[in-house]
Structure 1
Amino acid sequence: MKQEEVRLGSLIGRAGGSAKLVSSGPTGRVNWRAVLSALPKQFKAADVRNVRGLKGKRPSEIFAAITRWIDAGTARRKARGVYERV
């Protein structure tokens, strides 16, 4: 059963039941949903940058992710530079 769970988990992109924030490799893809869930209820762009694995990301990539979260309704802008998870 454990092998079946691992096989099915690999099909849907999970490994061992925990969501990885950044896949391995030099240009690993970021799981932005997992990043959002790792942030506090209110956050700033600097808080996003402090998440493990995002230190080298360009500011444009971080703000693009925040914009996607706002468009998707998973976050909203509270004030200039301050965002909130919904």
Structure 2
Amino acid sequence: MKPGIEREEILGVLTEMACCLEETDMNLQESLLEIRETMYNVHASHIEETNMLLDKMEGELPKSMKPKNETASLKLEMSF
């Protein structure tokens, strides 16, 4: 029985740990990519649904409430 750990054994263990960390990092990056894609798709879907809802609501507004000029702007006045 050996009294201690050999240098080669220590290097082997450290090399194996480095390989495991690298593999874990790659798996994490792939997982995060999938999560980002899912979140983007859900967000885009919500935006589209909101857009359709706003279009529907705008179509139901009485003509008197609709802006007459698309370039109409609000004038803000400040006094001191």
- The two structures have a TM-score, normalised by structure 2, of 0.21
Q: Relative to total residues, which structure has the larger strand share, 1 or 2?
A: 1
- The two structures have a TM-score, normalised by structure 1, of 0.20
Larger RCO (alpha carbons 8 Å, 6+ apart): 1
